[in-house]
Structure 1
Amino acid sequence: MVIFRRKRDDQGKVIKYKARWVAKGYSQVHGVNYTDTFAPTATIAAIRTMLAMAVARGMNVQQMDVNTAFLNAPVDHEIYVQPPAVDGIFSPNTVLRLKRGLYGLKQSPRLWNHTLDAWMREQDFVATATDACIYRRTCKGGKVMWVAVYVDDLLIFADSDSDMAAFKKAISKRFKMKDLGSPDICLGIKDRHMSQEHYLRNVLETFGMADCKPVGTPLCTGYVDRPADKEEPLPDVPFRELLGSLLYAATMTRPDISAAVSMLSRRMQHFGMDHWKAAKHLLRYIKGTLSYTIKYAATGETSNGSTADGVLSAYSDASFASDVDTRRSRTGFVVFCVETRQVVCVCLL
């Protein structure tokens, strides 16, 4: 089939109309025309850490995109497809055999990852032990280059401009690339300011809160997380859809809403109007904090004046029997990178 899509900029304006021929992967049979499907991507914690490191070290940061990335990988099974019904291109009853990965196939992301990974290793890059999509290479003079891969998006970090140019030239010879220059939007994040203002504006519009009155706290003062009455039917409100949208922002660029989102997410299975009102309160808080960003400063000195080299500091705490239903405690932790003084991870359980 052919899938049509509008590509938008950070202001929500349509900048490109795309038509993509995709396979009907839902008709594939495991063990017949596909086996493994898992493909790694860089974690957002790793990407944030690398962006902070780049600021601290004064590294050059560039972004590149692979055009039709999946088409670069050969398929690993014998697969036949029917072409889309477009007049004048294929004769009736035509059947095509795939030679390359096509969008829609279950194994296409995995095949593309194997293809790119093999090329990166040929270029003397080494994947980190903790993240298979973060690559590192030591260049001449001890200069360092890092590459973060998220499917077909590449964030490139280099100490030397000449090393950056050489890498861009090499990868452009192997794959058809789009050079995006200094990163603007990557994974829905405005990288220059580590902001998701455009994404959150869209969330407010989607749930009818674009013109709501702002408030100063993610949850109302004295809010108690009480379970809903399981005998009552679920309210006809998009509670789960809203929290799914906010979870993405909380894990990406808005750690300030992590506690509220985590608390409300516990009521996904059975929620009441009190939880929906709390979720709308959270949207009002977001309305007043749309301009909030994560800011990285080029400072690497610790309190004693020495320079720390990426030392991690972790803090944790727990409430005391705060769950009014089970009387269980609530635990949370935060991890900082001392070199850049930036949040690496926030988790509340």
Structure 2
Amino acid sequence: MKDLGKADLLLGIKILHSKSGFSFSQEHYIENIAETFDITNLPPVNTPLKRGLQLTKTSEDEVRAFDKLGLNYKSIIGTLNYISTNTRPDISSAISHVSQFLEQPSLNHWVANLQVLCYLYHTKKLTLNYYNIGRKNIITYSDADWAMHSFSKIR
């Protein structure tokens, strides 16, 4: 084995080293995705999804109309999920919400994904930071939000 030194890039994630810890960035990846989906000229948004947005089940007519557009819903969800799990947990709730419609998406669901992407593009300089604070224990917090499933039988 050969020591190549500190890693600067791993799976498209830029690693920034400092005395206080590490920062992880996907700025370049987000820029490329924004260009792919042609959202670079859209105005900035403050949140991943509009406040109070209620996405609902799609009718068969809406599904057929969406299919005719040839848009790859699963691709944009996969892309956003990759970013969310690696460096941008701030969009996790939004991705969870729009992922419910993988099998029957509509144009409304697509537009919601574009808003998430637009949010990412205009906040692309945000990084995920891990600081060396001297502790050896990991502290985590979690929240389950079953109330988000207003149209399903999950309660």
Q: Using the TM superposition, give the Cα deviation of residue 294 of structure 1 relative to its aligned residue in structure 2, in angstroms.
A: 1.2
5+ unaligned residues in a row in structure 1: which ranges? 1-170, 173-178, 301-307, 330-349
5+ unaligned residues in a row in structure 2: which ranges? 17-22
Which of 1, 7, 13 matches 1:189?
13
Q: Which residue of 1 aligns with 2:59?
A: 229
Percent sequence identity over aligned pairs = 35
Q: Which residue of 2 aligns with 1:323?
A: 149
Deviating runs (4+, > 4 A) in structure 1? none
Query: How far, CA to CA, are the matches of 1:248 and 1:268 in structure 2?
Result: 16
Taking CA–CA contacts closer than 8 Å with sequence separation of 6 or more, which of the two structures ends up with the larger relative contact order?
Answer: 2
Instruction: State yes or no: 1:206 paired with 2:32.
Output: no
314 and 207 in structure 1: CA distance in 2 versus 1, 3 angstrom threshold? same
Query: SS in structure 1 opposite 2:102?
Result: coil
Q: Compare the two structures and name the one with the higher helix fraction.
A: 2
The amino acid of 1:197's aligned partner reads E
314 and 194 in structure 1: CA distance in 2 versus 1, 3 angstrom threshold? closer
Q: Which residue of 1 aligns with 2:19?
A: none
Q: Which residue of 2 aligns with 1:287?
A: 121
Q: Using the TM superposition, give the Cα deviation of residue 209 of structure 1 relative to its aligned residue in structure 2, in angstroms.
A: 1.1
Aligned residues: 145
1:47-66 to structure 2, matched below 5 A, reads: none
Query: How far, CA to CA, are the matches of 2:112 and 2:58 in structure 1?
Result: 13
| Higher Cα Rg, which structure | 1
Query: How far, CA to CA, are the matches of 2:34 and 2:149 in structure 1?
Result: 30
Q: Residues 46 and 119 of structure 2 are in contact (CA less than 8 Å); yes or no, is this contact kept in structure 1?
A: yes
Query: How far, CA to CA, are the matches of 1:253 and 1:317 in structure 2?
Result: 19
The amino acid of 2:124's aligned partner reads L
Query: SS in structure 1 opposite 2:143?
Result: strand
Q: Which residue of 2 aligns with 1:313?
A: 139
1:19-38 to structure 2, matched below 5 A, reads: none
Q: Provide TM-score, normalisation by structure 2.
A: 0.83
What is the Cα-based RMSD across aligned positions, in Å? 1.9
Query: How far, CA to CA, are the matches of 1:228 and 1:196 in structure 2?
Result: 33
Query: How far, CA to CA, are the matches of 2:5 and 2:65 in structure 1?
Result: 48
1:258-297 to structure 2, matched below 5 A, reads: 258-297=92-131
